[in-house]
């Protein structure tokens, strides 16, 4: 059986819709939200780096604390979640979300597609799939493997006015060892819903996954990486409609170019059989053939249920109406090479 699947892209490139399609496969469970905790700052990969090549006693302690803080943010107590979700809705309703950022990760884990099992406004979405007790039990089991001892005290540079500060004693791990330990932890955590949904493979569609492809393969040797891309002119248009990220064409193309350059570098570090690149346009217009190719890559049987997802709202070619002549020149000046490489006129 195949290992975990990591879908990634520039953002606004089709990661969510591809996740929804793959979730319809009888063997694949795709989280309907971006899990974030593997690739984001202070997440699992940062922790592994700070406990291996970048290790010092201070860095190890700080990385563990930040990781614990991060994981707590993703699964807050119910009253805290309701407060944060309410504030988020207030910001959206008043349009203030364009002026002020909401609480960290308030809706990062909100469902991107709705059905009775998958979506909730009244409790942390992750709670639909992982019981709170199990979530923290698995995290603490992982911490027991990487923390040697903890005691009261603080380093120079400890957060100001920390109440009852403590220090986590860690050691310098060999990189392969800590990535294996971390991989076992992530797999145990994200495999929780598999039995309930009668699936065998879990998948994550966090866009920055492609930026950490080599680390993900190090963590999961059997993993597969899917880069889904679309016409970068459409990506720019989509970026500009969101409250997060770039708001101008020039800002957007800078971000997109840096992501694609990093992905180019990551591809050089992993075997070619570990990744595949597909376009959103092919997924929409040549769905069956594209999915057959994808299933061959993943070494799984084709499942017709994947064809049931409505792909009609992909907004392909929106740039022709939404980008001014000046905007189009900016995009083509900065991204001309990538437009050509990925087959866009």
Q: Are 104 and 73 in contact (CB under 8 A)?
A: yes
Token pair 């809706």: residue: 107
Query: pTM of this prediction?
Result: 0.95
Reference 99, options 244, 250, 255; nearest CA is 244
- CA gap 322, 97 in Å, rounded: 23
CB crowding 32-61: b at 16 or more within 10 Å, else e: bbbbbbbbbebbbbbbbbbbbeebeeeebb
Written as tens digits, the pLDDT of the chain (345 aa) is 578 999 999 999 999 999 999 999 999 999 999 999 999 999 999 999 999 999 999 999 999 999 999 999 999 998 998 888 888 888 888 888 888 888 888 755 445 555 545 555 667 888 889 999 999 999 999 999 999 999 999 988 888 999 999 999 999 999 999 999 999 999 999 999 999 999 999 999 999 999 999 999 999 999 999 999 999 999 999 999 888 888 899 999 999 999 999 999 999 999 999 999 999 999 999 999 999 999 999 999 999 999 999 998 888 899 999 999 999 999 999 999 999 999 998
* DSSP letter, residue 323: S
Which segments within 157-256 are labelled E, that is strand? 166-169, 201-204, 224-229
The CA-to-CA distance between both ends of the chain, in Å, stands at 39
- The number of residues making up the chain comes to 345
- CA gap 300, 3 in Å, rounded: 11
Confidence at residue 116, expressed as pLDDT on a 0 to 100 scale? 44
Confidence at residue 1, expressed as pLDDT on a 0 to 100 scale? 52
Token pair 């955590």: residue: 189
Which segments within 143-233 are labelled E, that is strand? 149-152, 166-169, 201-204, 224-229
Q: Are 69 and 51 in contact (CB under 8 A)?
A: no
Tokens representing 99 are 């002026």
Q: Are 79 and 41 in contact (CB under 8 A)?
A: no
Confidence at residue 243, expressed as pLDDT on a 0 to 100 scale? 80
Give the pairing of strands 149-152 and 275-279.
Answer: unpaired
Reference 30, options 39, 40, 22; nearest CA is 22
**Which SS3 state, helix, strand or coil, does residue 55 take?**
coil
Token pair 């694609």: residue: 260
Confidence at residue 169, expressed as pLDDT on a 0 to 100 scale? 98
Tokens representing 45 are 């990969």
- CA gap 159, 66 in Å, rounded: 11
């Amino acid at each position: 059986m195949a290992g975990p699947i990591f879908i990634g892209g520039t953002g606004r490139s089709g990661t969510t819709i591809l996740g929804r399609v793959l979730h319809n496969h009888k063997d694949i469970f795709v989280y309907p939200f971006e899990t974030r905790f593997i690739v984001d700052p202070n997440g699992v990969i940062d922790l592994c780096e700070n406990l291996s090549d970048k290790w010092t006693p201070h860095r190890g302690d700080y990385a563990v604390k930040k990781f614990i803080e991060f994981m707590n943010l993703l699964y807050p107590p119910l009253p805290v979640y309701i407060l944060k979700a309410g504030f988020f809705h207030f910001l959206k309703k008043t349009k203030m979300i364009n002026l002020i950022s909401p609480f960290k990760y308030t809706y990062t884990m909100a469902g991107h597609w709705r059905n009775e099992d998958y979506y909730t406004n009244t409790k942390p979405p992750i709670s639909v799939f992982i019981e709170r007790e199990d979530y923290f039990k698995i995290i603490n089991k992982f911490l027991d493997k990487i923390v040697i001892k903890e005691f009261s005290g603080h380093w120079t540079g400890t957060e100001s006015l920390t109440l009852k500060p403590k220090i986590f004693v860690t050691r310098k791990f060999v990189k392969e060892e800590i990535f294996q330990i971390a991989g076992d932890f992530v797999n145990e955590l994200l495999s929780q819903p598999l039995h309930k949904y009668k699936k065998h493979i879990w998948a994550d569609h966090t866009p920055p996954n492609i930026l950490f492809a080599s680390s993900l393969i190090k963590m999961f040797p059997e993993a597969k990486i899917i880069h889904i891309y679309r016409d970068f002119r459409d990506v720019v248009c989509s970026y500009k409609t969101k409250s997060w990220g770039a708001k101008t064409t020039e800002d957007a193309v800078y971000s997109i170019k840096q992501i694609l350059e990093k992905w180019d570098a990551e591809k050089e570090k992993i075997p070619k059989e570990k990744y595949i690149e597909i376009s959103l346009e092919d997924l929409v217009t040549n769905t069956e053939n594209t999915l057959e190719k994808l299933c061959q890559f993943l070494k799984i049987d084709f499942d017709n249920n994947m064809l049931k997802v409505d792909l009609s709202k992909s907004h392909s070619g929106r740039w022709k109406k939404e980008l001014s002549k000046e905007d189009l020149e900016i995009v083509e000046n900065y991204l001309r090479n990538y437009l050509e490489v990925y087959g866009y006129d």
